[in-house]
Amino acid sequence: MIFFCESASDDFRNRVLESTSKQITHGLNDINSNVSGIKRIRSLKGLIIGCIALNFSEERIDRLQRLLYKELESQIFLDGGHTSRSPSTHIEFIMALIDIRNILRRHGLETSEDFQIYIAKMSRMLRLWRHGDGKLALFHNSQENGKPLIDSVLGQVESQQKTIYSADQTGFHKISAGSSNLIVDTGVGVNSNDENHDSLTAFEFSTGKQRLIVNCGTSPGNFELREALKVSSAHSMLTVDDKSIGMVARKEPNSSRNLVTSITRKLVDGCSLIEITHEGYGESYGLTHNRNLYLSADGTDLRGEETLNYSGAPGVIPGKAVVRFHLHPRVRASLVQDGSSILLRPTSGGFWRFKTDSALALEESLYLGTAIRQRTEQITVVRSLKDIREKKRVVVRWALSKESGSVSRVGQS
């Protein structure tokens, strides 16, 4: 700002500085307004920098720091995740904290040890959301973000922090095996944040720097599309009658009912297993859903088991279950073996085969992991649920495994 005013007259420069000072004073008086979440952190960051730049009293700067610590306590889970559960919001939050720390230091004002602990904890959670390409997974209004930016942020954390793999407060788990990464939304119950997606049990899967299974992402500049991408069907997960998990809960924002009933993680002969059970379809259909995700120790064999149990409660008789697997645009897919399996061909090389015990199809999809909207495909697995009240249980099994051999040999085998 000083540079902007440098060539102006003294009168003009004084008027600009006076106006800026008044705006900062107004911001200080209005800091307890209804602005919340990341917007509140943006406000605090701007006010702290403004107060330092214009030589406001240390008393006012101390007050802003106290308000900032209160926000850290209310907005950051114990495992280091931001309450938005959004990787993109999370990294913006860390960047704001690092900027505040750096500007305070530059002017001889140190932050507390707790402040640095928050930055360190949040960096661990940020690592959980990274794929092998160094970019972020697509959950809750997030896009990939650039690897150089993420590397730069982590490089300024100032403490060595390993990745956290189980974050139950934030509601995410990660399995890293071989060169593969599996990132799963294990949920935190009813979402109170309107910006959250209906993505309970959704996952993304990558091998090396190549993403295979993804979620659709978000569209920051297009409100209608952004809202459409929040539904469960825009994620790699199971839906009943194409209805989003938690629709009933969202219609009752004061409801405290927790949709997640259990989360279990275990090692079986060196291989990892995550089990999630939820009642997202309990209110409407009397159903509970259990998703089991298994990843081999070498990361080349991913298996899933989707179990729907009828509780006996009244409700609508369901028509069908659809399990979706959205593919990254750089993955080519072909139905092979008379349509009994799907061969995936990442542009990075290699082959992966998808199999299931249910009806299998390839359909169109969209990918908005970056600012560019891209067409892609999705694998859909369909199972009828019309007789679930008699059977009491329906199980869908699927597997994605790495293949070896030439295109012709793999496609025919």
| pLDDT > 90: percent of the chain | 67
- Above 80 in pLDDT, residue 106? yes
pLDDT at 202: 98
- Above 70 in pLDDT, residue 232? yes
Count of beta carbons in the 10 Å neighbourhood of residue 326 = 28
pLDDT at 15: 74
The mean per-residue pLDDT over the stretch 111-117 comes to: 89
- Above 70 in pLDDT, residue 329? yes
- Above 50 in pLDDT, residue 2? no
The mean per-residue pLDDT over the stretch 63-78 comes to: 92
| pLDDT > 70: percent of the chain | 88
Q: What are phi and psi of 113, to 5 degrees?
A: -65, -35
pLDDT at 55: 74
Give the pLDDT confidence of 332-382 residue by residue, as tens digits.
999 998 889 999 999 999 999 999 999 999 999 999 999 999 999 999 999
**Amino acid occupying residue 121:** K
* 87 contacts 139 by C-beta, under 8 angstroms: yes
* 300 contacts 180 by C-beta, under 8 angstroms: yes
Long-range contacts of 226-235 (CB under 8 A, 24+ apart): 226/141, 229/197, 229/368, 230/141, 230/196, 230/197, 230/198, 231/197, 231/198, 232/198, 232/199, 232/200, 232/202, 233/322, 233/324, 234/197, 234/326, 235/185, 235/197, 235/198, 235/199, 235/202, 235/324, 235/326
CA 3, CA 8: separation in Å to the nearest integer? Answer: 10
- Above 70 in pLDDT, residue 89? yes
Count of beta carbons in the 10 Å neighbourhood of residue 392 = 12
* 48 contacts 104 by C-beta, under 8 angstroms: yes
The mean per-residue pLDDT over the stretch 26-38 comes to: 72
pLDDT at 243: 94
247 sits in which H/E element: helix 247-251
pLDDT higher at 307 or 162: 307
Please provide the average confidence, as pLDDT, over all residues in the chain.
89
DSSP letter string, 135-146 = -B---SS-----
Q: pLDDT category, 1, cuts 50, 70, 90?
A: very low
- Can you name the CATH fold of 175-413? Beta-galactosidase; Chain A, domain 5 (2.70.98)
pLDDT at 139: 97
The mean per-residue pLDDT over the stretch 148-154 comes to: 96
pLDDT higher at 377 or 55: 377
Q: Which two tokens stand for residue 141?
A: 């209004």
Q: What angle do CA 377, 380, 381 make, to 5 degrees?
A: 160
What is the pTM assigned to this prediction? 0.91
Q: Structural domain boundaries of the chain?
A: 1-128, 175-413
